[in-house]
Amino acid sequence: MKFATLPNGTLDGRLIIVSKDLTQAADASSITPNLLSAVQNWQSKWIDLQAMYDLLNEGKLEAAFDFDPSACLAPLPRSPQWLDASAFLNHGKLMEEAFNTDPIADFDTIPVMYQGASDDFQGPTVDIPMPSEADGIDFEGEFGVITGPVPMAATLDEAAQAICLLVQINDWSLRSFGPREMATGFGFIQAKPSSSFAPVAVTPDELGDAWKNGRFNLHLNVTWNGERFGEPHGSEMNFSFPELIAHAARTRKLNAGCIIGSGTVSNKSRDAGSACIAERRVIEKIDLGEIKTQYMRFGDSVRMQAKFDDGRDGPFGVIEQKVISN
């Protein structure tokens, strides 16, 4: 199934079901008012939602309408928790090599994760206001999952069973704040503005064989100001999403609607490019001895779209946003 959210004057928006080809949609609020409610009541609602989805794809819903991604909010405009990992170890190891920093203890065996703001997620096409170009404005292309309830100390099987939906994310960063905030030991606050989401959240079956081993086997194609930036592949994720969920739930339960992010999609091959500016900069430092690429300026735009290995567009739609002065 594929879901999106339209504004309706409430904090959680109005749930719609989107056709498999992303051309048609139907109001699903008669079944459950919004996507947060859907995942909170997944066991009792998914049968009716699936039936509506099937009718929509068969062209049998009279109330169907054209799907407009630009009208969408984030699939979940807010969430009980937003927990973002750094599950592509290549990204972290590049940072260590470029800046000659000590490796993080147990980096290869225990996921690195922070808890970010979850009260104001951004839609796929809205302009993104930032306070200052001097803050080091950066995009970060990621994949993520939305969970149902997860018990404390969940097993890997319980964590896997808790995955309800898959999403595509742009986890905005302000790099100038990162070093100081990380050095405090308390984590990110100012370095992490609200994240943005592609318009459509999908059930794992929509990926077919591209959902494998708890990972997105998709390319994430990124362009900056219309120029190719990278298309790293999600299969190189070192920790699977069930592993990330189990890590997050080690000492606390997770309520339905929790979002777990993969961290920046990153590949060992330089040919894959990157999904964030910071990674390109450290590669320049390693390979060329100097950093050439600057961070984003007001008026710059970024576009992100998942792609299947055969070149087909992914199921999430497109993130396409411009940075503006606040």
For residue 209, being part of any structural domain is answered with yes
Same structural domain for residues 203 and 313?
yes
How far, in Å, CA of 321 to CA of 164, rounded?
A: 27
Residue 217, pLDDT above cutoff 70: yes
Across 204-212, average pLDDT: 98
- The answer on 248 and 133 residing in a single domain is yes
Q: Is the pLDDT of residue 73 over 70?
A: yes
Judged against a pLDDT cut of 70, whether residue 15 lies above it is answered with yes
How far apart are alpha carbons 277 and 112 in whole angstroms? 20
Residue 97 has pLDDT above 80, yes or no: no
Beta strand extents in the chain (DSSP E only): 2-6, 14-18, 24-27, 65-66, 82-85, 113-116, 128-130, 137-138, 141-147, 163-170, 173-174, 196-197, 201-202, 211-212, 215-216, 219-224, 227-230, 259-261, 301-307, 319-325
Say yes or no: 160 and 12 in one domain. Answer: no
74 domain residue, yes or no? no
Do residue 198 and residue 275 come from a single domain? Answer: yes
Say if residue 178 is in the same domain as residue 224: yes
Domain with residue 290: its CATH number is 3.90.850.10
Question: What pLDDT shows up at residue 106?
Answer: 87
Say yes or no to pLDDT of 301 above 70.
Answer: yes
Average pLDDT of span 199-208: 98
C-alpha of 158 from chain center: 22
% of the chain beyond a pLDDT of 70: 99
Same-domain check for residues 211 and 187: yes
Q: Is the pLDDT of residue 85 over 70?
A: yes
Q: What is the pLDDT of residues 105-137, one digit of tens each?
A: 888 899 999 999 999 999 999 999 999 999 999
In a domain? residue 17: yes
> Is pLDDT at 75 greater than 70 in this prediction?
yes
Q: Is residue 77 part of a domain?
A: no
How many domains in the chain? 2
Asked if 175 and 278 count as a contact pair (C-beta separation under 8 A), the reply is yes
Considering the domain architecture, whether residues 126 and 193 belong to the same structural domain is answered as yes
Mean pLDDT, the chain, as a whole number?
Answer: 96
Q: Are residues 55 and 178 both part of a single domain?
A: no
User: Alpha helix (H) ranges present in 88-152?
Assistant: 89-99
Within a domain: residue 283? Answer: yes
Mark whether 88 and 211 lie in a shared domain. Answer: yes
**Structural domain contains residue 72:** no
What residues pair up with 17 in beta bridges, in sequence order? 3, 26
Residue 75, in any domain of the structure: no
pLDDT greater than 70 at residue 309: yes
| Tokens of residue 185, six digits | 């030991």
Q: Which residue, of 43, 67, 91, is where some domain finishes?
A: 67
User: What is the residue type of 102?
Assistant: D
Query: Where would I find the H helices in the chain?
Result: 35-40, 42-57, 89-99, 156-161, 178-184, 241-248, 277-288
pTM of the model: 0.97
26 & 163 share domain: no
Please give the biggest Cα pair distance in the chain.
62
Co-location of 34 and 111 in the same domain = no
CA gap 314, 202 in Å, rounded: 10
What pLDDT is attached to residue 100? 65
Q: Which structural domain, as residue segments, surrounds residue 275?
A: 82-325
Residue 235 lies in a domain: yes
Does residue 91 sit in the same domain as residue 238?
yes
The answer to whether residues 306 and 283 touch, using CB atoms and an 8 Å cutoff, is no
